[in-house]
Amino acid sequence: MIIVHEDSAPGIDAPEPCKRTLKVLLSPALHDSLESIAAGLTIIPPGGKSDEHEHVEGEMFFVISGKGQIRVGRDREELLPGTAVWAPQGTTHQLVNTHDSVLKVLWVLCPPGRERAILEKAQYGGTFL
Query: Does residue 2 sit within a domain?
Result: no
What are the tens digits of pLDDT across the range 20-32?
999 999 999 999 9
What separation, in Å, do the N-terminal and C-terminal C-alpha atoms of the chain show?
32
Is 6 within a domain? no
Residue 7 placed within a domain: no
pTM over the 0.85 mark = yes
Give the confidence band of 123 by pLDDT, cuts at 50, 70, 90.
confident
Q: What is the pLDDT of residues 31-50, one digit of tens each?
A: 999 999 999 999 999 999 99
CA distance 115 to 70: 19
> Given a cut of 70, is residue 129 above it in pLDDT?
no
Q: Domain limits at 70?
A: 14-124
Residue with the larger pLDDT of the pair 125 and 105: 105
Tell whether 3 is covered by a domain: no
Instruction: Confirm whether 113 is domain-assigned.
Output: yes
Number of domains in the chain: 1
Residue 45: inside a domain, yes or no?
yes
In a domain, 94, yes or no: yes
Query: Is the pLDDT reported for residue 128 higher than 50?
Result: no
Cα distance between residue 49 and residue 98, in whole Å: 9
The CATH number of the domain holding residue 83 is: 2.60.120.10
40-88 pLDDT per residue, tens: 999 999 999 999 999 999 999 999 999 999 999 999 999 999 999 999 9
Residue 9: inside a domain, yes or no?
no
